[in-house]
A = this chain, B = another copy of it.
Amino acid sequence: MAFTVLVKDAHSLARVGRLKTRSGSVETPVFMPVATKTAVKHISPEMLEEMGAQATISNSFVLSLRPGAKIVKKVGGIHTLSTYTGVMFTDSGGFQMYSPSLYKGSNDLGVEFKNPYSGERIFMTPEQNMQLQLDLGSDVAMCFDTMPLIEHSKDAVALAVNRTSSWARRCKETHDTLQKKVSKGKRQLLFGIVQGGVHDDLRRISAGALTELDFDGFAIGGLALGEAKEEEYRMIEVCQEYLPRNKPVYLMGAGNPIELLEAIERGCDIFDSRFPTMNARHGNIFSWKGKYIVTNAEHKASLKPLDESCDCSVCKRYSRAYVCHLIRNEEGVGYQLASYHNLYFLQELMRRVRKAIKVGTFGKFKKTFIKNYSKK
């Protein structure tokens, strides 16, 4: 079993666990910076290691376009390519169905994409996607899914759920076959993805179908997309009724600090999101006293660090005035400093969460954090 629950919170589903992969272990709850093309925007692999980021997630479909699976395989996989020493997840690329420049259409067999560089049509089946993610050499692969958007009709979501379930089975079978000869410790893990929009019954159907398959972990997809927070939290609860408690649960796309705590309380272990880096590039800074906009005029001459109670290397050295000036001028260093801080903030939040769960104070920790964070 790749996942071990180490400590359970007495008052909620929160827990500390360990996910063992062929490239090392991560302690959960864990937040993964998004490294679509194997690099986080403006943050180098050694910066990720320095801030204690245990894992990242890259996008297999995007990488298949550039530099291409052949090149990545030739150099020895995404670990060798990027030199990042943490655990590397890859997403399937199902999400790219929402890039109008990439997506052409889909049927029960798979998805048709357009290569934006060559114009070439690419038909991607779940089977091919499993081969791709193995070629890329990630430690954890995600099933090739069909993600509905919240504005889709319930019928469309139901269709997506059916297709996701059928593709999950095909992914699992292919993935098992492809790794038959790989020794257990060297095997890539595979997570299934539950869909179903904000519909309790569809989430139940999806989670029920997925859990029939012996995945190494289960992801909850199609949330954190703009639906009401209460709906998101309820969907997590509905899914958790079905998901096995001895497997890690990965809430995809969530990166708001409060959202992470609510999801952890509801038994989620793994997270990823562009939220911290995208916010950083727009001058939105996470702090223990709440989020604020460093490019606002009030910070122009402020020699305070981004967050007075943060001990990241950016807060130790740089001022709000400098970050404000650089981001207003669209300077790469400004994006780098703000992104580093925001990512560090989430890493530190996860460290404190794990500690709180271990010492039995998670509930109190969450309450205090949210109180302070919601002040602004």
Spell out A's residues near B (CB within 8 Å). 37-46, 66-67, 71, 74-76, 80-83, 300-301, 303, 313, 317-319, 321-322, 324-326, 328-329, 331-337
Closest 5 CB pairs of A and B: A42-B332, A39-B333, A74-B301, A67-B325, A75-B321
Q: State whether A39 touches B331 (Cβ < 8 A).
A: yes
Q: Measured between C-beta atoms, what is the minimum distance from A14 to chain B in Å?
A: 34
- Which B residue sits closest to A82, measured CB to CB? B322
Q: A75-B319, A75-B321, A83-B319 are in contact. List 20 more A-B contacts (CB 8 A).
A: A37-B326, A37-B329, A39-B326, A39-B334, A41-B333, A42-B332, A42-B333, A43-B333, A46-B313, A46-B317, A66-B328, A67-B300, A67-B321, A71-B325, A80-B303, A81-B325, A83-B317, A83-B318, A332-B332, A332-B336
- Which B residue sits closest to A83, measured CB to CB? B317
Q: State whether A331 touches B75 (Cβ < 8 A).
A: no
In the bound complex, residues from chain B placing their C-beta under 8 Å from that of A80 are: 303, 319
A-B pairs with beta carbons under 8 Å apart, 19 shown: A37-B329, A39-B331, A39-B333, A39-B334, A40-B333, A42-B332, A42-B333, A44-B333, A44-B337, A45-B317, A66-B328, A67-B324, A67-B328, A71-B300, A75-B321, A76-B303, A81-B322, A83-B319, A332-B336
Q: State whether A329 touches B66 (Cβ < 8 A).
A: yes
In the bound complex, residues from chain B placing their C-beta under 8 Å from that of A334 are: 39
Once the chains are docked, how many angstroms separate the CA of A329 from the CA of B66?
A: 8
Q: Measured between C-beta atoms, what is the minimum distance from A325 to chain B in Å?
A: 5
- Which B residue sits closest to A117, measured CB to CB? B328
In the bound complex, residues from chain B placing their C-beta under 8 Å from that of A82 are: 322
Once the chains are docked, how many angstroms separate the CA of A329 from the CA of B234?
A: 39
- Which B residue sits closest to A331, measured CB to CB? B39
Q: State whether B319 touches A81 (Cβ < 8 A).
A: yes
Once the chains are docked, how many angstroms separate the CA of A80 from the CA of B71?
A: 45
Q: Measured between C-beta atoms, what is the minimum distance from A69 to chain B in Å?
A: 12
- Which B residue sits closest to A39, measured CB to CB? B333
- Which B residue sits closest to A330, measured CB to CB? B37
Once the chains are docked, how many angstroms separate the CA of A191 from the CA of B13?
A: 68
Q: Measured between C-beta atoms, what is the minimum distance from A10 to chain B in Å?
A: 43
User: A332 and B301 in contact (CB under 8 A), knowing A46-B317, A75-B321, A322-B83?
Assistant: no
Once the chains are docked, how many angstroms separate the CA of A78 from the CA of B44?
A: 26
Once the chains are docked, how many angstroms separate the CA of A80 from the CA of B335?
A: 19
- Which B residue sits closest to A326, measured CB to CB? B39
Q: Measured between C-beta atoms, what is the minimum distance from A82 to chain B in Å?
A: 6
Q: Which of the residues B42, B71, B75, B313 comes within 8 Å of A336, measured between beta carbons?
A: B42
- Which B residue sits closest to A314, measured CB to CB? B44
In the bound complex, residues from chain B placing their C-beta under 8 Å from that of A83 are: 317-319, 322
In the bound complex, residues from chain B placing their C-beta under 8 Å from that of A318 are: 83
Q: Measured between C-beta atoms, what is the minimum distance from A268 to chain B in Å?
A: 29
Q: State whether B301 touches A75 (Cβ < 8 A).
A: yes
Q: Measured between C-beta atoms, what is the minimum distance from A279 to chain B in Å?
A: 16
Q: Measured between C-beta atoms, what is the minimum distance from A221 to chain B in Å?
A: 25
